[in-house]
Amino acid sequence: MNAVEVRDLEKTYVSGFIPKKVKALSSLSFCVKSGKIFSLLGPNGAGKTTTMKILVGLIKKDKGFAEIFSQKAGSIDAKKLIGYLPENPKFYDYLTGREFLKFSADLFNISKKNKIVGKLIEKLGLENFCERRVSTYSKGMTQRLGIAQALIGNPKLLIFDEPLSGVDPIGRNHIKKIIRSLKEDGKTIILSSHILPDIEEITDSVGLIYKGKIIREESIINLISEYQKKYQIILQCKKSEKIIIKEKIEDTLKIKNIIFDQSSSDSEKTDNISLKIIGKKKDIDKILSFCIEENFIVMNFSPELSALEQIFVKTIGDLDETN
């Protein structure tokens, strides 16, 4: 069953004293299956936030079709099914976290708000700061409160705009855990983010959006198998060994088209350097075996970029060049 169905959505903004039209969405279409995590990825101004705002009823579409669990997007019935976390959410500074959640519960016409708010505070780990004014919250706390308010009313669909932006690694981990647990609870989630490796960890499918159009919609498994082709090894070796390693790889192993990159932070005074070798998966596998045999210290072995970073850089880069 489709939780969200969007077809041929169009939106043009008109702004300025002398009206200027800017096309934000142009024939945008995608579907999100119930219980899955779907991520909208794209460069700034691609139309991710506009799409989300149309789904939650903050912006009206010009043309097209958008439904949420068979309810017209933007209608009160559809809003009952949605929890929304905007990008950089702002709360009333003078309210505490708990007071804001109670206020949100009132907007959902919830009668047993104290009980529901208490459960959410516990679920999101807000116990230690829910009695503090929101103005004193860190970015991570703000995002967690934002997620908590989005969960009021037990919505089936969650729309999170940049939930990980500006949050430190510990905070990001916490939010990723929350998102995974929400999926386990059966929620459908639509995300947008620029932190692609994090998205890759949690999403089920991806919609790549460019100039208001979905240019690719794919499951994350398919993308990883297609794009995770370049790998890297980081070695620790002596400066004098760099040339030897290079020669052995090129002459003995007969591997060409390999990138060697010495870390720029290595001090002139020390003899040890970090050497990054980037190449195709099969070549890097051979180099890895060789390094182990020769007793070099392998610091890291991983894909060069995450699959999402690669598809993002390649697809958007190609489109930018053709335009």
Partner 1 sequence: MRQINAIAANTLKIILREKVLYFIIVIAVVFGIFSLFLKPLVLGELKKIVYDFSFSIMFFMGVLISIVIGTMVIQTEYKQKTIYLILSKPISREKFIIGKFIGMFVSILIVELMLSVIFVLIILVSKVPLTADFFYSFLFIQLQLLIVCSISILFSSFATPITGAVFTSLTVMAGIFISSALNIGQLFDKLSNFSKLILTVISFILPALSELDMKVLTYSDISLNWNFVLFSISYSLLYSIACLLLTIIIFSKKEFN
Q: Interface with partner 1 by CB under 8 A: which residues?
A: 13, 50, 53, 56-60, 76-77, 79-80, 82, 84, 86, 88-92, 94-95, 103-104, 106-109, 149, 152-153
Nearer to partner 1 (CB atom), residue 143 or residue 205: 143
Minimum CB distance to partner 1, residue 159 (Å): 8
On whether the CB atoms of residues 191 and 55 are closer than 8 A, the answer is: no
On whether the CB atoms of residues 144 and 188 are closer than 8 A, the answer is: no
Phi, psi of 302 (to 5 degrees): -160, 170
Minimum CB distance to partner 1, residue 148 (Å): 12
Taking the CA atoms of the chain, what radius of gyration do you get in angstroms? 24
Minimum CB distance to partner 1, residue 206 (Å): 24
Nearer to partner 1 (CB atom), residue 62 or residue 218: 62
Buried b (16+ CB within 10 A) or exposed e, 76-94: eebbbbbbbbbbebebeee
Minimum CB distance to partner 1, residue 86 (Å): 4
Strands across the sheet containing 71-72: 20-33, 2-15, 63-68, 71-72
Nearer to partner 1 (CB atom), residue 163 or residue 279: 163
**Cα–Cα dist 195/231, whole Å:** 20
Strands across the sheet containing 230-238: 259-262, 272-280, 230-238, 297-303
Q: What angle do CA 248, 249, 253 make, to 5 degrees?
A: 95
Nearer to partner 1 (CB atom), residue 58 or residue 313: 58
Nearer to partner 1 (CB atom), residue 73 or residue 178: 73
**Cα–Cα dist 287/293, whole Å:** 10
Nearer to partner 1 (CB atom), residue 53 or residue 237: 53
**Cα–Cα dist 34/45, whole Å:** 27
Minimum CB distance to partner 1, residue 20 (Å): 14
Minimum CB distance to partner 1, residue 114 (Å): 14
